[in-house]
Amino acid sequence: MQNPIDFTGRVVLVTGGGKGVGRGISERFMAAGADVAICGRTPPDILPAADGREAFFSACDVRKYEQLEALIEAVITRFGRLDVLVNNAGGAPYADAATASHRFHESIIALNLTSALHAAQLANRVMQTQDSGGSIINIASVSTIRPSPGTAAYGAAKAGLVNLGHSLAVEWGPRVRINAIIAGLVETEQSHLHYGDAAGVAAVGQTIPLGRMAVPEDIGDACLFLASPLASYISGTSIAVHGGGEKPAFLQAANTGGPA
């Protein structure tokens, strides 16, 4: 039986693929044999690599439609096809929703929702012409399914991203599949900005049923599955990759002697 996770000869574009979660996704696809293109506003210090091959980098601010057009054109010019798009670029700093400016909110929604719609639209135009079609994976967040205080616009945008995939899967099937990953807390090179030192990261990990935060490669593995033939009948849905979620606060607050 042919290895269903062999991506040799397939081309994958990961937005924001040079660092953090995006880098883990890029390196997982490269290790599986794919040709990987990444984008960002500036190139990473070290390109994602595997088996002596490096990712192809193209500068792009995903909030700018014209730059997204140029990105897709650059990928097609270099590789001749596009099999998988991973809409990973996103994020948001902490901001109080009551006092943040309207421009701030618009920027966060543009980065986390509108840019993914535009990238998917451009990728779909290519994928619809290919006999093998294509797969689009949107990286969402647990902020999709729980309150997101301090990042309200981000949570709303990520929730919209999941719903967007439901609709596009209907419009663009059967040739193109669209799914989302609801990513939990992920330990990256910037974790200290949110959780403090190693002890803080470990303490946060203990609030998760599986006992640790995710690493970028965990999200990459889920992407490999969704883009592979193993998921050929999966479209228009989301998969939560969050280690079991978060332990309900009431269990500790009640102090009943039950599980913490």
Task: Mark whether 154 is an active-site residue.
Answer: yes
How many whole angstroms separate alpha carbon 177 and alpha carbon 158? 19
How many whole angstroms separate alpha carbon 226 and alpha carbon 154? 24
3-state secondary structure of 250: helix
Identify whether the C-beta of residue 64 lies closer than 8 Å to the C-beta of residue 75: no
Quick one: tokens of 7? 């991506």
Who's near 146: CB < 8 A, 6+ residues apart? Answer: 246
Give the largest Cα separation in the chain, rounded: 63
**Selected catalytic residue, list 94, 154, 195, 233:** 154
Query: Cα angle at 163 between 159 and 168, to 5 degrees?
Result: 145
Identify whether the C-beta of residue 25 lies closer than 8 Å to the C-beta of residue 55: no
Quick one: tokens of 160? 């919209």
Pairing of strands 134-141, 84-87: parallel
Q: In the sheet where 11-15 sits, what is the strand order? A: 56-59, 35-40, 11-15, 84-87, 134-141, 176-183, 238-241
Quick one: tokens of 189? 């090179």
Quick one: tokens of 56? 């192809």
What are the residue numbers of the active site? 154
